[in-house]
Structure 1
């Protein structure tokens, strides 16, 4: 089955992609992508200036048709980041409608928007061939190129189709960036493989979501929080059958607000660039706040201690999450070659609990969200959720800072209405075990976040 099976399967003249640039039928989108594919003949690897909208979808589809690995470059990347990605990936050219996007790299550019359409469709490349090189956020150094095969993408989308009952009858709405797994792999390639219509709103504004009739909506917690804060916009999503949240933990209060306003609880899922999506709640099953569900078909998970010994599935014990399955990446791109990550169990770097029924709760990153304080292991997310229950608190991020007595001191950074530190500490102590209360609360105007809405705790720690 071709990777972009739905795009290739029909000459449908109905709108298959709607974006700020207009609406495009599947027939037109295929001809557009095929024209780009023809211009990529013989190119070893290409990059795309991944601005939100139809051109990026067409460019990525064209590269995949041609069997050319494609490197999405964030449109808001700074000069140093952009130059690093273009140089490190070895991209031979940059697909863009803005020639200035290549900066001072000297890289040749190829326009995406064009009137040309082609009926020549290249043969399907082998499944093991690399499809995407997605660069990580670079929180532990320079961004690294994650090489993802065509087979991994196909396996992930097919597994999600089963978990979410995703069919050609669906209309997917989102406004997420097109250079991450969530917005690009799930949000753009999903409809091109599984069928249905995609409405990309350009930006994930609540009004844009409310004005777009869909059966499925994708968002990150920041998006859902803003939608929940606009009840009229949220109620407009009630006819949809699936609201999906990912890329960061969804605060429990937002979960409950969405359930009340739309009549359904959001589906949460878990994944990362190196593994794609591996765990999710099901469209026809239970949805629990603060938990991400069960492994997808073909995925196996486990939690282990620091020595690698398996830990019990009791819903309480926190361990290092490991996964294995067909959605894992091939390796990191280094010096023009793929350096394999290994084989067997992949260590995600996240910590989690697994319940007796197999449900997973992601505590967070082992480096920032597992706090070892006074001999206890505390998950930052649990403390954050407790803080968010206070009516004065709008946002919260918790981490452990060095402490000579406790090892790590639970410290909360909070965006809130005027309130006393001790009031919030007492509020958490009434709801959680005493050792889980923050020892310090710092009121801040905003929390630093990346493009996907994830709080950048390393910046809080450095500050």
Structure 2
């Protein structure tokens, strides 16, 4: 699965640089093999996934040993951490040198040293073997473990390499968390499959991105917003080949400012923990603001209405996005009930997201069906469309729209908006009504200092709904 570790792509002392720690691929392989020697035979190994060389060594060690790897968010609270460890059946916890084992953890801790070396040869696991158990955000209850096979990871990385013209000649730069698909699967395993050099900046600051000298950059909208606000940092990316944004919609003003300062039109892509990345703009295709592009190789999508009938690809019809293909997970660990709810009888995965598809196949994600498809006064309104209109106002820096219960309308459009203070809620509501249909205007606008977000930059809309 990690073909670059086996040679053929060349090597360098700093083929991987993780928060200032440089490693060659040969050194990583030797250290990861030493970790694999200790993990071999375990049911699963949890990795305290801090942005360190030890974390990368531990993840690769688990994959070499054929042991499912369970990335553990380092900032997880005791309840979430205990649930993940118990639910995954992890027998070991990998920790870096000098790292403290969290209080209350009872499984054996295994120190992983990036300086260790072993020449043991571990047999290559079957392609269908579990590579990772990735836990969802748990917005509808306790987090569920998505079982992701080696085959799915390889298929997705190859599809993205084709879509993004990603090769061993690239230098990938990012500073994303290593317990999510974006930062770990794409941002680490991708470099170890394509052979590209990897620079993980530790924290994804504009200054760190500017200094990295990459050709390929990954970021979430929060990262790109901060880069765009730092003119010198944004201009320094002019020599890059590709800026990739994901995990949440990239605001159009940020897209446009990045283009103006760096000359780069960012690429957006779409995926989930359960599906990996399924839809993306291509490096050699149109880069359209607000669009996530077309399905990657090996993936198909379809759009269904509430009655289960297919919807036209007309750029207007809003429906549930369903996907199938080689990148999908094998199911939720120990949760046949969740599997039954998530898959259709004919084998399609219900993403829970609502989308619009144009006649040219370009996909635009409206949002989550549970919080982003608002049914108000008999109309169906996509929250993302209203948010984009609000962000067009020069005084607005961020916005989130939800459907709050309303006795008259069923749901009322409520907007939470971050502004510079030079505009009122009524003015913003009128601003939207001038640009969209009147029924899409916010019935209430709440001015806030900031929006609640998770580690990947996604707005916690259910938290906003409890406040509506």
Please state whether the residue corresponding to 1:450 is helix, strand or coil: coil
Q: Give, in angstroms, the shift of residue 338 of structure 1.
A: 11
- Separation in 2 of the partners of 1:12 and 1:328? 32
Q: Give, in angstroms, the shift of residue 391 of structure 1.
A: 1.4
Q: Give, in angstroms, the shift of residue 417 of structure 1.
A: 1.8
Q: Give, in angstroms, the shift of residue 177 of structure 1.
A: 0.1
Contact 1:147 1:338 in 2 (8 A): no
| Pairing partner for 2:411 from 408, 412, 416 | 408
Show the 5 A alignment for 1:73-152. 73-97=72-96, 100-152=100-152
Contact 1:88 1:335 in 2 (8 A): no
Q: Deviations over 1:65-93 (max 9, x none)?
A: 11000000001111111111111111001
Q: Give, in angstroms, the shift of residue 299 of structure 1.
A: 0.6
Contact 1:92 1:107 in 2 (8 A): yes
Matched residue, 2:3: 5
Matched residue, 1:382: 385
Matched residue, 2:183: 183
- Separation in 1 of the partners of 2:20 and 2:84? 27
Contact 2:69 2:133 in 1 (8 A): yes
Q: Deviations over 1:256-284 (max 9, x none)?
A: 11111110210000000000000000001
Matched residue, 1:244: 244
Moved more, 271-280 or 398-407: 398-407
Please state whether the residue corresponding to 1:68 is helix, strand or coil: coil
- Separation in 1 of the partners of 2:450 and 2:428? 18
- Separation in 2 of the partners of 1:205 and 1:255? 18
Structure 2 stretches of 5 or more lacking a match?
A: none
Matched residue, 1:64: 63
Contact 1:221 1:245 in 2 (8 A): yes
Contact 1:163 1:282 in 2 (8 A): yes
Please state whether the residue corresponding to 2:101 is helix, strand or coil: helix
Matched residue, 2:167: 167
Moved more, 306-315 or 274-283: 306-315
Q: Deviations over 1:275-295 (max 9, x none)?
A: 000000000110111110000
Matched residue, 2:325: 325
Matched residue, 2:307: 307
Moved more, 158-167 or 332-341: 332-341
Structure 1 pair 297/114, CA: closer, same or farther in 2 (3 Å)?
closer
Q: Give, in angstroms, the shift of residue 13 of structure 1.
A: 3.8
Q: Give, in angstroms, the shift of residue 20 of structure 1.
A: 2.0
Please state whether the residue corresponding to 2:445 is helix, strand or coil: strand
Q: Give, in angstroms, the shift of residue 337 of structure 1.
A: 13
- Separation in 2 of the partners of 1:362 and 1:114? 40
Show the 5 A alignment for 1:295-374. 295-334=295-334, 342=343, 344-374=347-377
Contact 2:54 2:114 in 1 (8 A): no
Q: Give, in angstroms, the shift of residue 459 of structure 1.
A: 0.3
- Separation in 2 of the partners of 1:147 and 1:102? 25
- Separation in 1 of the partners of 2:240 and 2:194? 18
- Separation in 1 of the partners of 2:306 and 2:111? 50
TM-score by length of 1: 0.97
Contact 1:144 1:333 in 2 (8 A): yes
- Separation in 1 of the partners of 2:101 and 2:447? 38
Count of equivalent residues: 461
Moved more, 293-302 or 326-335: 326-335
- Separation in 1 of the partners of 2:270 and 2:38? 36
- Separation in 1 of the partners of 2:367 and 2:149? 27
Please state whether the residue corresponding to 1:260 is helix, strand or coil: helix
Please state whether the residue corresponding to 2:155 is helix, strand or coil: helix
1:193 aligned onto 2:193: yes
Q: Deviations over 1:354-397 (max 9, x none)?
A: 10110000000000111111111111111111111111111100
Contact 1:177 1:184 in 2 (8 A): yes
- Aligned alpha-carbon RMSD (Å): 1.6
Matched residue, 1:275: 275
Q: Give, in angstroms, the shift of residue 59 of structure 1.
A: 0.8
Q: Give, in angstroms, the shift of residue 14 of structure 1.
A: 3.5
Q: Give, in angstroms, the shift of residue 437 of structure 1.
A: 0.8
1:448 aligned onto 2:418: no
Structure 1 pair 210/13, CA: closer, same or farther in 2 (3 Å)?
closer
Matched residue, 2:156: 156
Q: Give, in angstroms, the shift of residue 100 of structure 1.
A: 3.4
- Separation in 2 of the partners of 1:229 and 1:6? 36
Q: Give, in angstroms, the shift of residue 16 of structure 1.
A: 1.1
Please state whether the residue corresponding to 2:223 is helix, strand or coil: helix
Please state whether the residue corresponding to 1:236 is helix, strand or coil: helix
Contact 2:322 2:350 in 1 (8 A): yes
Q: Deviations over 1:150-205 (max 9, x none)?
A: 00000000000100001000000000000000000000000111111000000111
1:284 aligned onto 2:281: no
Contact 1:220 1:247 in 2 (8 A): yes
Contact 1:102 1:109 in 2 (8 A): no
